[in-house]
Amino acid sequence: MNDCKGNILIVDDEKGLRLGTKRLLEEEGYIVAVAQNGSEGLQYGTTNDFDVAVIDLKMPDIDGMEVLQAIKQSHPNTVCFIATAFASYDTAIQATRIGAFGYIPKPFSPEELTYQIELGIKQRKLILDAQRLEQEREKNLLELANEKSRLNAIIKSINEGVIVINTNGALAYYNYSAIKLLGLSSLNIGENALSILPEQINEIVNKIFHSDKIMLKSFSTELSLNRQNEIFLEAACTPIPNPDGSLAGVVIILSNITEYKRIEIIKNQFVSMVAHELKTPIAAVQGFLNIIKDDSLNLSEEKKKDYLQRSSQRLKSLTDLVNDLLDISRLELKTKQKEIIDVNLCDIINSTLQMLELEIAKKELTIEKNEIEIIPLIKADFNEITRVVSNVLSNAIKYNKPNGKIFIDLNSSQNYVILKIKDTGIGMKDSERQKLFSEFYRAKNENTRGISGTGLGLSIVKRIVDSYYGIIEVDSEYGVGTTFTIKLPINPN
Q: How far apart are CA 386 and CA 376, in angstroms?
A: 16
Considering only 74, 280, 350, 438, the residue that binds another protein (CB under 8 A) is 280
Using CB under 8 A as the binding rule, the residues of this chain from 415 to 444 that contact another protein are 444
Handedness of CA 97, 100, 102, 103 (dihedral sign): negative
- Residue number, 111 or 446, with CB nearest to another protein: 446
Nearer Cβ to another protein (133/297) = 297
- Smallest distance, another protein to C-beta of residue 167, A: 42
Burial of residue 475 (CB within 10 Å: 0-12, 13-18, 19+) is middle
**Angle (CA) 2 78 45, round 5°:** 95
Q: Is 272 in the site for another protein (CB under 8 A)?
A: yes
If we measure between CA atoms, which residue out of 482, 353, 364, 349 comes closest to residue 424?
482
Determine phi and psi for 251, rounding to 5 degrees.
-105, 130
Please give the size of the binding site for another protein, defined by CB under 8 A: 29
For every residue of 415-454, DSSP letters joined together read TEEEEEEEE-B----HHHHHTTTSTT----STTTTT----
* Interface segment toward another protein; rule CB under 8 A; list 63-71, 112-120, 247-255, 290-298: 290-298
Minimum Å distance from CB 223 to another protein? 22
3-state secondary structure of 240: strand
Listed ranges 108-116, 284-292, 367-375, 413-421: which one lies at the site for another protein (CB under 8 A) = 284-292
Task: Report if residue 307 touches another protein, rule: CB under 8 A.
Answer: yes
Nearer to another protein, 221 or 280 (CB): 280
**Beta-carbon neighbour count of residue 201 at 10 Å?**
25
Give every strand in the sheet of 416-423, ordered side by side.
366-371, 405-413, 416-423, 481-489, 471-477
Between residues 195 and 298, which has the closer beta carbon with respect to another protein?
298
Nearer to another protein, 199 or 446 (CB): 446
Task: Name which of 88 and 286 has its Cβ closer to another protein.
Answer: 286
- Which one, 2 or 298, has the nearer CB to another protein? 298
SS3 percent helix, strand, coil of the chain, rounded to 5, is: 50, 25, 30
Stretch that binds another protein, among 51-59, 82-90, 273-281, 326-334 (CB under 8 A): 273-281
Residue 444 phi/psi, 5-degree rounding, is: -115, 115
Counting contacts by CB under 8 A, is residue 283 touching another protein? yes
284 interacts with another protein by CB under 8 A: yes
3-state DSSP call for residue 29?
coil
Cβ nearer to another protein, comparing 145 with 282 = 282
Helices (H) and strands (E) in the chain, counts: 14, 17
Instruction: Check residue 305 for interaction with another protein (CB under 8 A).
Output: no
Handedness of CA 137, 143, 146, 152 (dihedral sign): negative
103 binds another protein (CB under 8 A): no
Q: How far is the CB of 304 from another protein (least distance, A)?
A: 11
Q: Select from 282, 225, 216, 285 the least CA-distant residue to 255.
A: 225
Nearest to another protein of 140, 434 (CB atom): 434
**Among 4, 275, 451, 480, which residue interacts with another protein (rule: CB under 8 A)?**
275
Which residue lies nearer to another protein by CB, 298 or 337?
Answer: 298
Question: Are residues 75 and 52 in contact, defined by beta-carbon separation less than 8 angstroms?
Answer: no
Q: Work out whether 149 is an interface residue with another protein (CB under 8 A).
A: no
* Strand 247-256 to 230-241 pairing: antiparallel
Residues 447-476 that bind another protein (CB under 8 A): 449-450
Q: Which stretch binds another protein (CB under 8 A): 164-172, 180-188, 216-224, 288-296?
A: 288-296
Which listed residue (296, 335, 413, 431) binds another protein by CB under 8 A? Answer: 296
Under the rule (CB under 8 A), what is the footprint of another protein? 271-272, 275-276, 279-280, 282-288, 290-291, 294, 296-299, 303, 307, 310, 314, 444-446, 449-450
